Amino acid sequence: MKNIANKNNSNTDAIVNNASASSYFSIPVLFCALYLLVHFIPDLGSNDPIGPQWLYLSLLNIITAVYIFYSINQYKKYIPTIISSGYFIFFIGYLLWITASLSYAINYTETIVCLSRIFTTFFAIFNLLVIVNENKEVVKKVLTLLLMILLFESLQVLLNFISNSENYDLDNLKMELFNKALNKEQFKNNSNVNMYLGDSK
């Protein structure tokens, strides 16, 4: 009897461990991780260094939307809450306004490019809100992934700086940063003076 009980306990532990492992690598966490990895997409020789990143984000939006569509029964109860929120309504108003700006845009091509990127960002935020859907476990895992990515990037920048430290002229770098800060301060002061003189007139 003890052997049977031990086997049952071991089987139960195995099921629990498998369930926890599968939940940790769930599809929502996978999609969130893919969104977080957009920063690591290389430029691929493009004239626009972030062009491939926007292409990746657009394709990921389509794939995520298809997943949400086929899992609509799981997520449909969260969509009305998202749509009725003040932030969503404000974003929709903002999208309508910038779409209307096409009628008076000076650079029409650049406006279309920026408009497409804003819409891409909107759908990315919407997809993430739907798949996360107030699931605290998913949020914790996504924040852990974000922390790991930020740590990796920080170490990468630090190691790159250390490896090339001999090529840096730190004195000139400090003076350049100081001059930039001084120019910004002078610009701010001049702007304040001009605003004061304009008001006094």
Whether the Cβ atoms of residue 146 and residue 123 lie closer than 8 Å to each other: no
Tokens (6 digits) for 189: 């002061």
Does 130 share its domain with 118? Answer: yes
Q: Hey, what's the torsion of the CAs at 138, 144, 146, 147, to 10 degrees?
A: 160
Residue ranges making up the domain that contains 183? 169-201
The mean per-residue pLDDT over the stretch 100-109 comes to 86
Does 59 share its domain with 147? Answer: yes
pLDDT higher than threshold 50 for residue 196: no
Per-residue model confidence (pLDDT) at position 143: 82
Does 106 share its domain with 183? Answer: no
- In this structure, which long-range contacts are made by residues 113-118, counting pairs with CB atoms below 8 Å and at least 24 apart in sequence? 116/54, 117/54
Does 176 share its domain with 158? Answer: no
Task: Return d(Cα 162, Cα 139) in angstroms, integer.
Answer: 34
More confident call, 89 vs 27: 89
Dihedral sign computed on CA atoms, order 89, 95, 101, 105:
positive
pTM: 0.64
Closest by CA position to 91, among listed 101, 82, 104:
82
pLDDT higher than threshold 50 for residue 193: no
Whether the Cβ atoms of residue 53 and residue 38 lie closer than 8 Å to each other: yes
Does 109 share its domain with 173? Answer: no
Does 130 share its domain with 197? Answer: no
Does 39 share its domain with 78? Answer: yes
Does 39 share its domain with 73? Answer: yes
Per-residue model confidence (pLDDT) at position 186: 52
Measured in degrees and rounded to the nearest 5, phi and psi for residue 43 equal -75, -15
Does 173 share its domain with 86? Answer: no
The mean per-residue pLDDT over the stretch 4-20 comes to 44
Does 69 share its domain with 93? Answer: yes
Give the number of other Cβ atoms within 10 Å of residue 127's Cβ. Answer: 21
Q: What is the pLDDT of residues 56-97, one digit of tens each?
A: 999 999 999 999 999 888 888 888 888 898 889 999 999 999
Does 31 share its domain with 66? Answer: yes
Does 160 share its domain with 173? Answer: no
User: What does DSSP assign to residue 26?
Assistant: -
What domain count does the chain have? 2
Per-residue model confidence (pLDDT) at position 66: 94
